[in-house]
Structure 1
């Protein structure tokens, strides 16, 4: 189904950069000839689209997390691949997350309450929880409690990552209660086509994901979350057709990666992922990488991360591989949570003793689901999953799950960045000409505007968490 995505975004929502504005400004500037109450279906479409765009777009994906986890590399303008950033480089995720995504979703929650439609409220809670996970996993401590009311909190305080995670688990439990397949219908859902049953699965899959985020710090809480889901009789995403994703349409609403490659040629696939796929004879290689334009002995050629500009360009634009055409296509989806991920997560939950089950069987199902996600033939799947290097190792589940999950999450830069930090696999090497003294980034730095517009709360967050630099580990990142 092709939809014309609305660009409706609530105005008056510069949550974290409007400290100098008066609270009455929005009221003063209301147009008496226009409705002041947005429709929840338009807001839902808008919030989904704008979040997907920044999640899958340049600043947070292509110029940051895809480079950090060594899916992609830069062949031109290599500063980001060498970890060189200005204090405005990570502004977009923060600004879009708060001033567009969360503000719209908060309004949907209010409208859902006002209209007696709990399904709008439940869907908005799920999406808002996802947005907050993106923010806290990128920056660490973030505004959460005071982020819902701009009129009252123009300079919101930061909450600790632990408190944010615990609050999100409460929100998702509330969402699960609010979501009712027999309740009032919703519209404007471009993720699941207004299917509330699938939103309930999405909610539980996100709860499972967060439970594992806190597992090394708060194992008892993580185990209780999964027990609650079981007691509720809930289920997770259980097929590739149920993957939570935003599917793009034609220009001007095509996939952001497709849009960028229409006019630029800055990126190549990383040598790290190409070497791993070659070593495993992984059938996803032709999906993840494009053939070199000029014939080369290997057909698929990645480049090392973090080269100096001259060294990178000397490798040759026509002798190195771009990302695969699947990911460059206008309609390529922005995957939020895949079926494969939920299976990997369940395998890990079993390995940790949080739930009953067969970790090895779930792991194999996860690998299979990832391969089927890209239409790999059954015979090739059987060959691949039988390889000793792909077999599940119960003595080191983090290695088995971490390496195969890293392969499966290709393209999902922010998610892969978090999983790599949490599981510590694969064991990546820093950029060749990196600027972090032999270290890799483990977080985003806060936007520079926070220092100038929300300085007191910014300083308190840094004092609590650690220096505002790329190498400061976040709370969930234990090892």
Structure 2
């Protein structure tokens, strides 16, 4: 009897020990039990910059679509020969990482995150949703993070919702509301975050301008009349500055082991046409010294034709973009000035559209280290650069396309909206002479959120690269 009791006791102890061991095994030793707002903020800034400037969403897709870069080998994405597995990173990281972590900050009690953390998180979440809807169209927005199979909202609903979210973010941000640490972009400067909020509101106002002009005008007025203002110098630019490996610029990391991209011939030709001093910043001279000039790679070529251009005879993107510490610019002062110029041209706000246009170009030059006033003036005085009030979309669209070099996702959005410069699909592309107008939804949406996916495309249109989004009217 005693032996039976001992066995029973030993068995119970074994079960308890096993359970405790399993509990310990299932704990991540590298994870914090209570996430901290500063760490979440640092992480989302770094991961957001990587997402925006990394290969999948930038130089392997949108930079090719707008012909900033071209592929010299493995040309499938430059020929638009892609599938619904090609654009999953923006969606998956945007929702599962960025929006999830930002929602965590937003939902923290006050003792874990003051209202400035929440205002910053709401601003960054709005920027993430903006990237998603600009690329895909209708997306899960109102139910994102709340349901396993969230409904999609139309692009109009997303844009109008983001304008309200950014109003709320502005109300949360106040220098008296506590300090912020973990901010690797603005170092806790709340006044700069408030300027960013208004600059994003102005960006969205122009996104909706061709479909909802009355709301766009209202949003532009509210953004520019808010006491915090919009960006007022290059010091306000929203960017993430990298350091050294492994915390290095994604393009720098890529070119350490790969050599399959060149600056696009379309960009080189335009910069040569305008005698643009940004060319030596945007491109490197070919490694074959006998070439002696900048040579872009043509877009949309077959692999053999792309290879035949010569690796040593074509120009890589400039070293400005390929060093470890190259910044990931996300919202530039130059963009804000172009947006102000267009808002004036559309009659939304008062001002001098031509002077704002000139200031935008000068800000872009300064951003890339070109500060000589005579050089800038001579450039602005060219007939091909002067502001055309009768076709502001052409003037602003062309120069904004140049200034956005490297910022593929936003260059892609603005090129679709303004329709300048006129781009031509390469000879081996697979969309019957058309250029892409959006990203495919990830294939997992069909299998995991099929009803919502089907309802979305029934309204928006087929899940094709050529389906135009709501904001893209031409």
TM-score interval, smaller chain: over 0.9
Unmatched runs of 5 consecutive residues or more in structure 2: 1-24
Tell me if structure 2 keeps the 8 A contact 1:112–1:119: no
2:451: which partner in 1? Answer: 456
Deviations 1:80-135, CA, capped at 9 Å, x for gaps: 00001122110100000000000000011112645461100100011110000100
In the alignment, the residues of structure 2 paired with residue 31 and residue 392 of structure 1 have an alpha-carbon distance, to the nearest angstrom, of 58
2:369: which partner in 1? Answer: 375
Q: Is the alpha carbon distance of 1:462 and 1:34 closer, same or farther for their aligned partners in structure 2, counting shifts above 3 Å?
A: closer
Deviations 1:343-393, CA, capped at 9 Å, x for gaps: 000000000000000000000000000001111122211111111111100
Unmatched runs of 5 consecutive residues or more in structure 1: 1-27
In the alignment, the residues of structure 1 paired with residue 329 and residue 290 of structure 2 have an alpha-carbon distance, to the nearest angstrom, of 32
In the alignment, the residues of structure 1 paired with residue 292 and residue 393 of structure 2 have an alpha-carbon distance, to the nearest angstrom, of 31
Deviations 1:234-291, CA, capped at 9 Å, x for gaps: 3111111110001111100100000000000000110000000000000000000000
SS at match of 1:245: strand
Q: How does 1:31-430 map to 2 (within 5 A)?
A: 35-111=32-108, 113=110, 115=112, 117-149=114-146, 153-297=147-291, 299-376=293-370, 377-430=372-425
In the alignment, the residues of structure 1 paired with residue 317 and residue 29 of structure 2 have an alpha-carbon distance, to the nearest angstrom, of 50
1:474: which partner in 2? Answer: 469
Q: How much does 1:433 deviate?
A: 0.7
Tell me if structure 2 keeps the 8 A contact 1:421–1:477: yes
Q: How much does 1:33 deviate?
A: 11
Q: Is the alpha carbon distance of 1:228 and 1:320 closer, same or farther for their aligned partners in structure 2, counting shifts above 3 Å?
A: same
Question: Which of these two proteins has the greater Rg computed from alpha carbons?
Answer: 2
In the alignment, the residues of structure 2 paired with residue 331 and residue 250 of structure 1 have an alpha-carbon distance, to the nearest angstrom, of 6
SS at match of 2:167: helix
Q: How much does 1:230 deviate?
A: 4.4
For normalisation by structure 2, the TM-score amounts to 0.93
SS at match of 1:42: helix
In the alignment, the residues of structure 2 paired with residue 34 and residue 442 of structure 1 have an alpha-carbon distance, to the nearest angstrom, of 40
In the alignment, the residues of structure 1 paired with residue 228 and residue 41 of structure 2 have an alpha-carbon distance, to the nearest angstrom, of 24
SS at match of 2:262: strand
CA RMSD of aligned residues (A): 1.6
Q: How many residues align?
A: 450
370-379 vs 88-97, greater mean Cα deviation: 370-379
Tell me if structure 2 keeps the 8 A contact 1:112–1:118: no
SS at match of 1:418: helix
SS at match of 1:198: helix
Q: Is the alpha carbon distance of 1:30 and 1:106 closer, same or farther for their aligned partners in structure 2, counting shifts above 3 Å?
A: farther
In the alignment, the residues of structure 2 paired with residue 230 and residue 257 of structure 1 have an alpha-carbon distance, to the nearest angstrom, of 34
Q: Is the alpha carbon distance of 1:183 and 1:85 closer, same or farther for their aligned partners in structure 2, counting shifts above 3 Å?
A: same
In the alignment, the residues of structure 1 paired with residue 75 and residue 129 of structure 2 have an alpha-carbon distance, to the nearest angstrom, of 30
For normalisation by structure 1, the TM-score amounts to 0.92
In the alignment, the residues of structure 2 paired with residue 465 and residue 30 of structure 1 have an alpha-carbon distance, to the nearest angstrom, of 44
2:435: which partner in 1? Answer: 440
Tell me if structure 2 keeps the 8 A contact 1:41–1:188: yes
Tell me if structure 2 keeps the 8 A contact 1:90–1:446: yes
Tell me if structure 2 keeps the 8 A contact 1:30–1:36: no
SS at match of 1:145: coil
381-390 vs 31-40, greater mean Cα deviation: 31-40
Tell me if structure 2 keeps the 8 A contact 1:250–1:331: yes
Q: How much does 1:307 deviate?
A: 0.6
Q: How much does 1:58 deviate?
A: 0.6
SS at match of 1:426: coil
SS at match of 2:153: coil
In the alignment, the residues of structure 1 paired with residue 231 and residue 212 of structure 2 have an alpha-carbon distance, to the nearest angstrom, of 24
Q: Is the alpha carbon distance of 1:230 and 1:298 closer, same or farther for their aligned partners in structure 2, counting shifts above 3 Å?
A: same
In the alignment, the residues of structure 2 paired with residue 163 and residue 457 of structure 1 have an alpha-carbon distance, to the nearest angstrom, of 15
235-244 vs 271-280, greater mean Cα deviation: 235-244
Q: Is the alpha carbon distance of 1:299 and 1:267 closer, same or farther for their aligned partners in structure 2, counting shifts above 3 Å?
A: same
Greater share of helix residues, 1 or 2?
Answer: 2
In the alignment, the residues of structure 2 paired with residue 299 and residue 248 of structure 1 have an alpha-carbon distance, to the nearest angstrom, of 30
Q: Is the alpha carbon distance of 1:364 and 1:118 closer, same or farther for their aligned partners in structure 2, counting shifts above 3 Å?
A: same
SS at match of 2:140: coil
